[in-house]
Structure 1
Amino acid sequence: MDLVSGIVVYVILWWWILFMVLPVGVRREDDVQQGNDAGAPKKPMLAVKLLATTVIAALVWVGVDLVVRSDLISFREMIRDWP
């Protein structure tokens, strides 16, 4: 995988994993004041979630890169056999 492809795959993985991590640990506000959304979390912990997303995306990206480089799944052969 070349540099640009690697960056694109990492960015896609990062966003995908971010949307999976965002709902983790969300607790709703018990005392909702007027003008606030009842579904807004008390402590969103965004910094922790962004760090976790970055680490998880990096680990998944390494796995994807290893699979692509090892030709375990050869996308070039799949295209050649395409009808």
Structure 2
Amino acid sequence: MNLFLGIAIFVILWWLAFFTMLPMGAQSAHEAGEQYVPGAEHGAPKVHNLRLKALIATGIAAVLWLFVAWAISVDLVGMRPH
């Protein structure tokens, strides 16, 4: 696997993991039974924890990338020309 392919696969895996994690733990003011600020979006989360979610997404993407790199190196899927 060349450098460009490795980086592209990692970025795709990171975004997939990040978007999967975005709704986890999100709770709006309406769901919490609190008053919301006039003019604020009703569905906006109170606390988004983006930094933590980005770190966890990085860990998940790294583990998945290692598996994909291994699968490519041993030709698990049989994509190399004969």
The answer to whether the superposition gives a TM-score over 0.5 is: yes
CA-CA distance at 1:74 after TM superposition = 1.4
State the 4+ residue runs in structure 1 displaced beyond 4 angstroms.
Answer: none
CA distance in 2, matches of 1:17, 1:31: 32
- Select 2:38's aligned residue among 30, 34, 38: 34
Consecutive unaligned residues of structure 1, counting only runs of 5 or more, are: none
Q: Given the alignment of the two structures, is residue 70 of structure 1 paired with residue 74 of structure 2, yes or no?
A: yes
CA RMSD across the alignment: 1.2
Identity %: 38
Q: How many residues get paired?
A: 78
CA distance in 1, matches of 2:47, 2:75: 44
Consecutive unaligned residues of structure 2, counting only runs of 5 or more, are: none
Q: Taking structure 2 as the reference length, what is the TM-score of the superposition?
A: 0.88
